[in-house]
Every structure is written in structure tokens, then in C-alpha cells.
């Protein structure tokens, strides 16, 4: 069921719900400009991951504010959309974010997906059909307000 759009002229981020590690995860930002998937503390704790579950990740990340963020490590997790499952490497960071995770180009490319903030959708081919994940504009706005305050 498609959710009603709050307005096409709005400039909202694309925030979706994904099944990560077998759990439905809200507040997932789709960022086609990013080259890594990022997992924030809420999701890390919610999935009951432990430090020994992480692999080393030695590169640094630059936050939206331009600050360098050090990672706790990296973990490979399955992301399921409908019946399609893609494994991606999340970089786990210990930093505040209104989002629980960011999915980026590696996930989009593995799924062969196209994302659109204008249409608030991610579309991808699967078994001869085009499937879609619908964005949640209300959640996107809540995240934006949370980030600002």
C-alpha cells in the first residue's frame, strides 16, 4: 500500500524501513552519494552485536558536518527487501544520528536499484518485475527535526 505523499515540492531525504539481520529497521537513510553503509549505535545495540562480531576497519569516515568519525569496526549483514537478500558491509560508528543506518551505493548497486528522493521510492528489478520500497516522508521530517535540535 502506498503511503500518501506529503508534497512533491518538498526536499525530503529518502528514509525507508528495511529488514537488516532479520529485523525490521526504521529510520534507514538512502544516500546514493555515499560509498559505505553505516550502522549507528541504536541498531548495533538493537541487533545485540558484540565487539567480537566486528572486523577491523582502518579507514576514517567524514560526517555530514565534515568531522572525522572513527569506526568501531565493520560487519557483514543481510538486507532483505521483499524476498530479495543482499549482503553488505556496514561500518559501525559510535556517533549520534537520527538515523539507525545509512544504505549507500554498494547496496543500491548490488540490488540493481534506482532511488529517487523526488518520488520517495527505491525501485529494483526482481524475477521479471519491478519492485519498490516506499519512503516515509513523515519519518524523514522527524529525523531532520531531531538532527537540527
Phi, psi of 138 (to 5 degrees): -60, -45
- Give the model's pLDDT for residue 101: 97
Q: Which positions ≥6 away from 137 have C-beta within 8 Å?
A: 3, 5, 6, 10, 12, 15, 120
Q: pLDDT 10s per residue in the chain (149 long)?
A: 444 455 544 689 999 999 999 999 999 999 998 999 999 999 999 999 999 999 999 888 877 777 888 899 999 999 999 999 999 999 999 888 999 999 999 999 999 999 999 999 999 999 999 999 999 999 999 998 988 87
Cα torsion for 37, 92, 74, 14, to the nearest 10°? -10
Give the CA distances from residue 31 to residues 13, 15, 76, 83, 130, in Å, rounded to whole numbers and listed in that order.
8, 9, 19, 22, 21
Q: What is the pLDDT, as a whole number, of residue 60?
A: 80
* Cα-based distances in Å from 19 to 65, 71, 98, 124: 28, 23, 18, 16
What pTM does this model have?
A: 0.89
**Domain extents in the chain:** 15-148
Please tell me the class of the 15-148 domain. Answer: mainly beta
Query: CA–CA separation, 58 vs 131, rounded Å?
Result: 36
Predicted local confidence at residue 29, as pLDDT: 97
Residues 6+ apart with CB under 8 A from 57: 71, 73, 74, 91
* pLDDT given for residue 2 in this prediction: 46
- Determine phi and psi for 107, rounding to 5 degrees: -70, -45
Amino acid at each position: 500500500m502506498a503511503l500518501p505523499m506529503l508534497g512533491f515540492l518538498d526536499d525530503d531525504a529518502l528514509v525507508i524501513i528495511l529488514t537488516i539481520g532479520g529485523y525490521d529497521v526504521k529510520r534507514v537513510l538512502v544516500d546514493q552519494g555515499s560509498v559505505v553503509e553505516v550502522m549507528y549505535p541504536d541498531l548495533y545495540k538493537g541487533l545485540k552485536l558484540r565487539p567480537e562480531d566486528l572486523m577491523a576497519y582502518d579507514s576514517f569516515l567524514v560526517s555530514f558536518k565534515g568531522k572525522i568519525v572513527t569506526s568501531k569496526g565493520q560487519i557483514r549483514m543481510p538486507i532483505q527487501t521483499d524476498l530479495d537478500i543482499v549482503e553488505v558491509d556496514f561500518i559501525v560508528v559510535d556517533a549520534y544520528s537520527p538515523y539507525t543506518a545509512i544504505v549507500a551505493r554498494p547496496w543500491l548497486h548490488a540490488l540493481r536499484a534506482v532511488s529517487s528522493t523526488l518520488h520517495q521510492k527505491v525501485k529494483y528489478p526482481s524475477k521479471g518485475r519491478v519492485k519498490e520500497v516506499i519512503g516515509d516522508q513523515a519519518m524523514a521530517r522527524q529525523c531532520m527535526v531531531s538532527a537540527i535540535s
